[in-house]
Amino acid sequence: MGSTRARTPKNFVLDERLERYRDAIEYEPARWSGRWAHIAAPSIGADVAVPAYREVRLDLGCGKGSYLVAAAQAEPDVLFIGIDMQPVCIAYAAQRVCEAGLANALLVPGNGEKLAHMFAPGELASITLNFPTPHPRKREAAERLTTLDNLLGYRPLLAERGTIVLRTDSEPLFDYSLPQFEAAGFTVRWTSHDVRADHPAIPMSEYEERLVEEGATVHGICGELGCAPAAEQLEAGRKHMLDSLYDYIPDDLYEGAYIPHGMNFAIQAFRNRRRNQELRARHSAPTSSEPNAEG
């Protein structure tokens, strides 16, 4: 995922690409609600009596599909569904699926707002949130995929012991999201401040590869569906649900280090503010030649 718009080569014709790899794209996902595991193959679209897959997993914000394809190749008995709001990403991901000859990967255009219409209760074994847009400003907070409200919306779609996995280059988003997971009634199975080192088997996305080359460290949370949250949990989560991510920026302001995507403007503003404060303090401090209070 990520908020940057996908770049296309000069001779890229979107409609032609979408049509060429049409077999890996489902434009009417609601018709499969409750029956995703029974799809014989995305390219066929046929319904079978016995489930063709042992479980269904959702990659919400799949980008160009490199993670989706790698995951599907590793577990051919699992159906992987990728959703992305950018048609360009859908085109690239569908191309990857078709060229890899995968029967267990499928793309759905959209932003995930209508998941309840696409999937029946308990139909998903897991939901993966790979590098979602952090939306750091307070006025954008409701758009984060890891708000209490969004996490509560995912709960009915998950099977017993189903999981949600967040991976992000943004430590502020990680710090914000962890209590939101807990408030939504998810039992934290694991957290990591270096997912690549702690969980090397998780496939890398193309977006992650680029961020890591720039110096990013990947933070992660795996939450397992637990009991419905109590009133006090919900109250605690809502208290901070619309926080600005600027409140979670560390004191060192990432000095000399990688700045998480989407946080550049804030970090630079805070650095400038700190620098100006230091300059003002330096100019206002008495010099050694000035008389002190006792003189």
Q: Give the tens place of pLDDT for each residue, 1-10.
A: 554 455 566 6
The DSSP annotation for 83-150 comes to: EES-HHHHHHHHHHHHHTT-SSEEEEES-STTHHHHS-TT-EEEEEEES-----SGGGGGG-TTSHHH
Closest CA to 58 of 196, 206, 163, 180: 163
**pLDDT number for residue 275:** 84
3-class SS of residue 59 = strand
Separation between Cα atoms, residue 186 and residue 101, nearest integer Å: 36
Is the model more confident about 241 or about 1? Answer: 241
Separation between Cα atoms, residue 131 and residue 134, nearest integer Å: 8
**pLDDT number for residue 190:** 98
Beta sheet of 105-109, edge-to-edge order: 105-109, 78-84, 55-60, 124-130, 158-168, 219-225, 186-192
In a domain, 190, yes or no: yes
Separation between Cα atoms, residue 221 and residue 224, nearest integer Å: 10
Least confident of 22-26, 62-66, 257-261: 257-261
For residue 255, pLDDT over 80 is answered with no
- The Cα diameter of the chain in Å comes to 95
Separation between Cα atoms, residue 80 and residue 178, nearest integer Å: 25
- State how many domains the chain has: 1
Is the model more confident about 247 or about 287? Answer: 247
In a domain, 63, yes or no: yes
3-class SS of residue 165 = strand
Contact 124, 58 (CB under 8 A): yes
**pLDDT number for residue 30:** 94
In a domain, 76, yes or no: yes
Identity of residue 78: V
pLDDT band of residue 292 (cuts 50, 70, 90) is low
In a domain, 115, yes or no: yes
Is the model more confident about 274 or about 100? Answer: 100
**pLDDT number for residue 197:** 96
Q: Give the tens place of pLDDT for each residue, 54-71.
A: 999 999 999 999 999 999
In a domain, 197, yes or no: yes
CATH number of the domain where residue 115 is located = 3.40.50.150
For residue 14, pLDDT over 60 is answered with yes
Q: Is the dihedral of CA 224, 227, 230, 234 positive or negative?
A: positive
The pairing of beta strand 124-130 with beta strand 158-168: parallel
Q: Domain limits at 123?
A: 14-251
Q: Residues near 20 by Cβ (< 8 Å), separated by ≥ 6?
A: 95
In a domain, 293, yes or no: no
In a domain, 264, yes or no: no
* Rg of the chain, C-alpha, whole Å: 23
Q: Give the tens place of pLDDT for each residue, 151-196.
A: 999 999 999 999 999 999 999 999 999 999 999 999 999 999 999 9
**pLDDT number for residue 265:** 83
In a domain, 223, yes or no: yes
**pLDDT number for residue 291:** 53
Average pLDDT, the chain: 90
Contact 132, 208 (CB under 8 A): no
pLDDT band of residue 294 (cuts 50, 70, 90) is very low
